[in-house]
Structure 1
Amino acid sequence: MGRGNFTKEEMEILLRNPYVSDVNEKSISYSTEFKFLFMEEYIEGKRPTQIFHDAGFDIKILGSKRIERACARWKESYQSGTLGERSAVLGKISPQEDSATPSEKMESGKKYTIDRCRQQEEIIKKLRAEIQLLRRVYEREQEETGQSLPRTEVCRIIEGIAQQEEYRRCISHLCRAAGISRNTFYEYRRNDAVGE
């Protein structure tokens, strides 16, 4: 397992993962969403194997070498600003990129810088949301008994923060920061909707 070709059973298991876009006997293709999720968590200090595991992958099926190679490819693509682009996946430079004039290359560099700034702004947004969450949880705990809040109360706080326009896409990050699973949060949300 995890070495050489995938078996039919392993391919079926891998295809059940929402982060897998395609798999055959020799290779696996991951969704762009997973690549960015991977890089976000990797930048935050999480280990590659742990990221794959938390995303629902069977590490024994993938094997450490596949994870290691994917990590190396995605880091390189992320640093060059091509993560998720088709030419980066194929490992090729398009003829347009190869024959670009200096001004086109400079324009491309500006685009990369702007994209990186946007990515950093997203990270900052998530960290601001996390600070709000932790501050509210701490204040609530101090108001109450000085003990940890129940999960439903933590979910309620996350819901309140996520209703703010700039933090709507931070739910997964807030759940991780609060030490609860996304499933717990979405179950709370479903139950809360039913209760209304």
Structure 2
Amino acid sequence: MSNKIFTEKEVKLLSQNKYVKKVSMKAITYTDEFKRIFISENEKGKLARDIFETHGFDIDILGINRVKSASKRWRKAYKNNGVIGLKDTRKQNSGRPREKELSLEEKYERLKAQNNLLKAENELLKKLDMIERGAIKKK
């Protein structure tokens, strides 16, 4: 996040841009469409600053550091995950996942499965211990 704080006038001006999803005094969220446009134009050799200016952003308001960091973040996300990496998933992943109340049968089944897993783990550890002891005796 940038250290630059937007004034109320700047927030109002930025929110009028069709490529801005949300803007506050501290942060700006760009649309997924703008991120895709940015990547395609950037791959053609266009500079980040020029892409932002072409699409109606005032660099003096945004600040060059915000442009550079967004550019770096989007290129990295695109490189790692393609177009899907540019998608804003915060709405789908908000907060702690909800857990429904389990019935007694479901709790029992979970505990039984956990118990079986621990038994298998103990058996494995016993076998490994026996193998190691056998290897030590042979030396």
Q: Name the larger-Rg structure.
A: 2
Q: Secondary structure at the match of 1:86?
A: coil
Assess if the C-alpha contact under 8 Å between 1:3 and 1:63 holds in 2. Answer: no
Summarize deviations over 1:97-149 as a string: whole Å, max 9, x none: xxxxxxxxxxxxxxxxxxxxxxxxxxxxxxxxxxxxxxxxxxxxxxxxxxxxx
What RMSD in Å do the two structures reach over aligned CA positions? Answer: 1.7
Q: Which runs of 4+ in 1 moved over 6 A?
A: none
Displacement of 1:50 in angstroms is 0.2
Count of aligned positions: 87
* Bigger share in helix: 1
Amino acid at match of 2:38: F
Distance 1:71 1:55 in 2: 14
Distance 1:5 1:85 in 2: 22
Distance 1:65 1:29 in 2: 15
Q: Secondary structure at the match of 2:86?
A: coil
Number of the residue aligned with 2:6: 6
TM-score (norm 2): 0.59
Indicate whether 1:44 and 2:82 are aligned: no
Amino acid at match of 2:19: Y
**Aligned counterparts, 1:1-196, within 5 A:** 4-81=4-81, 82-86=85-89
Displacement of 1:86 in angstroms is 1.3
Distance 2:7 2:23 in 1: 11
Q: Secondary structure at the match of 2:50?
A: helix
Larger RCO: Structure 1 or Structure 2 (Cα < 8 Å, ≥ 6 residues apart)?
2
Gaps of 5+ in 2: 94-139
